[in-house]
Copies of this chain bind each other. A is one copy, B any other.
Amino acid sequence: MSKVWNYFAGPCMLPVEVMKKAQEEFCDFEGAGIGIVEMSHRSAEFTKVAQDAEALLRELLNVPSNYKILFEQGGGRGQFAAIPLNLMPEGGHADYFVTGHWSRCAWKECNERYGEAILHECSEQDENGQYFIDYSKMKVTEGSSYAYLCLNETVNGIEVFDIPDTGDVPLIVDMSSDIMTRPIDVSKFGAIIFGLQKNVGPAGMTITIVREDLLGHARKYTPSVLDWSVLAKFESMFNTPCTFSWYMGGLNFKWIKSLGGVTELEKRNIEKSKMLYDYIDSTDFYISKVVPKDRSRVNVVFTLKDESLNDEFIKTAKAKGLIGIKGHKVLGGMRASIYNAMPIEGVKVLVEYMKEFAANHK
């Protein structure tokens, strides 16, 4: 196949330059004679790779010095357990601001296994059937251990741009799909968690950026690998980390820096998503079910007005080299994920295809 455009939601497209570099040195990392995946995580070479990646992440996100950066295994799902295990004492409670699929999963993990997770339904439908975020619902309750929020709901295509003020209650956010896509003020959060497999690198690693005073309170039965204070103490080398993801994350951070950092990426992501939403709004062939102000810049979710055309839309796209546009199974419809690695050309190609398909099915 000559050229493929990859709109998978994650694992997903990675920057072409990053992929090429990793391929080039796959069997011989910087002249060491062996590949990065063949190196001990405690070797001098890998230690440098790991430390450089962390330093660059700290620089790009402007992470304050009183925050630790932890490189973990277990995925976002593992962190859904780690959050209450590390932050909520037995008998405590926490507030979950739910705006879609993944924040509901986080709520469920806590509520079924660790204690009272108060569900605040923060996504509602307006009179046109479009979803919007009801920020007025984002209120913490008395004595809450933390408030939880997913800043970008990958499945629903909803993104939180206004960070609620939770006062002294630490706000814990999942940024798996929008990390590095826009500047954020880390100091507003108790912890930021994200899986690497969308905007950073291959699946297999999760990063937690956590304020130091929140460490050291884990429940007794917290597995060591999910105990943030254990990971902090051993600088994420308590056990063997997913070295390849860590390494590729580092390559990705270098790529981001070379482009001008997250501010530049935010500009590009605004431009890319605007192009796609503008087209969707200009036709009644396609529908966005999210109000403009809350639309995700990275996961553009839409449906065809005539849903009987869904299969044909996907099949025809694939034949043209446009893959991964089927929506998540819980929601159906379509989803184009256009993370940092997706160039504007990839969005233009998609819009052209959508126009053509619509024209052919008038």
Contact = CB atoms under 8 A, between A and B. Distances in A.
Contacts of A43: 8, 324
Question: Most B CB atoms within 10 A — which of A203, A243, A324?
Answer: A203
Given A22-B26, A240-B195, A34 B4 contact: yes
A175 interface: no
Interface string A54-78: 0000000000000000000111111
A6 B114 CA distance: 45
A33 B1 contact: yes
Contact of A10 (B35, B40, B225, B321): B40
27 contacts: A3-B33, A4-B33, A6-B34, A8-B40, A9-B40, A10-B40, A11-B39, A11-B240, A11-B243, A13-B34, A14-B35, A14-B38, A19-B27, A20-B27, A37-B203, A41-B203, A74-B74, A74-B78, A74-B223, A195-B240, A202-B243, A202-B244, A203-B243, A204-B205, A204-B243, A204-B244, A242-B242
Contacts of A239: 75-78
Nearest to A26: B23
Interface of A: 1-4, 6, 8-14, 19-20, 22-23, 26-27, 31-35, 37-41, 43, 73-78, 80-82, 85, 109, 113-114, 195, 197, 201-205, 219-226, 238-245, 248, 321, 323-324
Contacts of A35: 14, 19
A80 B224 contact: yes
6 A-B pairs closest in CB distance: A4-B33, A204-B242, A81-B223, A77-B239, A204-B204, A37-B202
A221 B221 contact: yes
Contacts of A80: 224
A32 B19 contact: no
A195 B73 CA distance: 12
A39 to B, nearest CB: 6
A19 B4 contact: no
Contact of A33 (B77, B243, B321): B321
- Total copies of the chain: 2
A12 B40 contact: yes
A222 B113 contact: yes
Contacts of A39: 8, 11
A204 B245 CA distance: 8
Given A223-B81, A223-B85, A41 B11 contact: yes
A218 to B, nearest CB: 10
Nearest to A221: B113
Contacts of A201: 37
A38 B240 contact: no
A57 B351 CA distance: 44
A11 B33 contact: no
A168 to B, nearest CB: 27
